[in-house]
Structure 1
Amino acid sequence: MEQIKEIQTIMKELRLSAAAKVIPELVQTANVDQASYSDFLLSVMHKEQKERAEKARLRRFTWATLPYQRSLDEFEVNIQPALSQKQFNELRELNWVDQSYNLILLGPTGVGKTFLSVGLCVEAINNGYSAIFITMGDLIKVLKTETISRQSQIRLKHLLKANLIVLDDLMFMALDQDEANLLFYFINKLYEQTSFIITSNKSPEQWSEVIGDEVITGAILDRIVQKSQVIEMIGDSYRVTHRQTIFKDNK
């Protein structure tokens, strides 16, 4: 027993805390199974690896700042004419993230743009990717305050390291010249190394109206659209058709 405690102490010093907690059980199992030394050592490493992977997954969810968590299993592909089941499955495979493609989801409020983008974020995080959700307004705030705000510095650091960024409600708000420049520099910095999911209720042709500068608009569009898939989502508002009411019986 003293030997087990010594092993646990050394393992904790080596930062193998997860495996250290279960060493007594692993030793007992190895004795019962008459496991070889290599099999026993492998079981210890697997335990530590699994625990670290789970902690990393939970950290990625913390950094993601999702407005809510929704699984892609909940997304009703059959009521969204703009997306076939085959296309939905292809998006879910996330190969496009590995290739730094962008996904542009256009359409009016309530058709499922944010729902789909959140679901893809969750899918990416669960598969080992770093994914972050941020609204247009919050991104501009981070970019404008990163030199004076520690919180903004940390958030920008995570954004710059992300594999996938959801930029929600792009062009929802008008930008002044400085804000438009900041948005361009941000997108340009991540060009061809990070995938974006962009949601907007305005078509790219209307973006210059919000930015107020056709040159910057063109530069942003060039970098977003070059490797991208545009999906124009249509249909009734998901929030209205799935609304929750106070009365179960409306009679």
Structure 2
Amino acid sequence: MQQLITQNKEEYIQTMMKQFKLVDMRDQYLDLINEAETASLGYMDFLVRLLSVEEEGKKNRRYEKLLDKACFESIASLEDIDYTFNLNINKNKIEELGSLRFMEACENIIVIGPPGVGKSMIATGIGRKACENGQSVLFVNAKELVDRLHNEMIKGTLPEVLESLNKIDLLIVDELSYINMDKEKESLFFQIIRQRYEKRSLIITTNLPMGRWNELFTGQLAATAILDRLLHHCHVISITGDSYRVKGSNYSAKKGLT
């Protein structure tokens, strides 16, 4: 057996790496061998180098997969935020949230402000950080989410959809503004809030200050019940100032701020 392996080294290596799904090692091991010989690496250092290449490759593939499933509407990152344009955006607070410690504590984020000030950019940037950290994210428009839940309820598949949503580490509900919910849709939205309460994190962006959330729902009682759970463990970011769009910023045209 040893003699056979020696005679067909490259074929054996390729076969074993394919079998064990060592994608990056398989693609790069010959170059890494040459690199190790040139640098006179010892066995231990060479093994570490091999493993680090595979680790980085798997991490990058998982990140790309998570980004695809997240359904972000833009490619904005936290590093893209122009804090000089709007001094009302608290850079230290945003960077703290970008550390994702709020997710470890199962806390929520509500970003409030008029159109165009960067609410969705902030939510997307934090969501991309979560994907980079290997956590699942879903970015969804509030109206589309509520409509989907309602349709799934009619089809009789609501429990499966709710279970699927509950497994997502970070749910981002964008543009929770001016949605005329009836009792049925309101109840469905409340189920999302309730099932994530103190279990998984949620980010909501909205144009409406919380004092006007009764306009979203059937009344103040419903709004209070929802806010009670959202705000118990929550970071509230309130942004004022000019819109990137109104200023005709080239940046907003590229990033699609809302």
Q: TM over 0.5: same fold?
A: yes
* Aligned equivalent of 1:205: 211
Q: Does 1:174 align with 2:180?
A: yes
- Over residues 135-163 of structure 1, what are the superposed CA-to-partner deviations in whole Å (9 max), with x where a residue is unaligned? 1012113322446499x967972x42333
1:172 is aligned with what amino acid? Y
- Over residues 15-42 of structure 1, what are the superposed CA-to-partner deviations in whole Å (9 max), with x where a residue is unaligned? 2122112222233333444444333332
Q: Does 1:63 align with 2:63?
A: no
* Shift in CA distance, 149/177, structure 1 to aligned 2, threshold 3 Å: closer
* Aligned equivalent of 2:124: 118
Q: Does 1:83 align with 2:89?
A: yes
Q: Distance in 2 between matches of 1:84 and 1:42?
A: 41
- Over residues 67-102 of structure 1, what are the superposed CA-to-partner deviations in whole Å (9 max), with x where a residue is unaligned? 111122221223334333322332332322222222
Q: Distance in 2 between matches of 1:154 and 1:2?
A: 51
Give the SS at the match of 1:239: coil
* Aligned equivalent of 2:190: 184
| Aligned residues of 2:88 and 2:241 also touching (Cα < 8 A) | no
* Aligned equivalent of 2:30: 24
* Shift in CA distance, 113/22, structure 1 to aligned 2, threshold 3 Å: same
Q: State which drifts further: 52-61 or 222-231.
A: 222-231
Q: Distance in 2 between matches of 1:68 and 1:106?
A: 19
Give the SS at the match of 2:173: strand
Q: State which drifts further: 128-137 or 61-70.
A: 128-137
Q: Distance in 2 between matches of 1:16 and 1:192?
A: 38
2:81 is aligned with what amino acid? F
Gaps of 5+ in 1: 245-251
- Equivalence map 1:224-243=2 (5 Å): 224-243=230-249
TM-superposed deviation, 1:6: 0.6
Gaps of 5+ in 2: 1-6, 251-258
* Aligned equivalent of 2:255: none
Q: Distance in 2 between matches of 1:61 and 1:102?
A: 21
* Shift in CA distance, 153/241, structure 1 to aligned 2, threshold 3 Å: farther
TM-superposed deviation, 1:235: 0.9
| Aligned residues of 2:162 and 2:192 also touching (Cα < 8 A) | no
Give the SS at the match of 2:190: helix
| Aligned residues of 1:171 and 1:211 also touching (Cα < 8 A) | no
In percent, how many aligned pairs have the same letter?
A: 28
| Aligned residues of 2:117 and 2:244 also touching (Cα < 8 A) | yes
* Shift in CA distance, 84/212, structure 1 to aligned 2, threshold 3 Å: same
2:48 is aligned with what amino acid? L
Q: State which drifts further: 48-57 or 194-203.
A: 194-203
Q: Distance in 2 between matches of 1:122 and 1:73?
A: 11
Count of residues in correspondence between the two structures: 242
* Shift in CA distance, 81/31, structure 1 to aligned 2, threshold 3 Å: closer
| Aligned residues of 2:178 and 2:215 also touching (Cα < 8 A) | no
RMSD: 2.6
Give the SS at the match of 1:240: coil
TM-superposed deviation, 1:128: 3.1
TM-superposed deviation, 1:46: 1.6
* Shift in CA distance, 191/135, structure 1 to aligned 2, threshold 3 Å: same
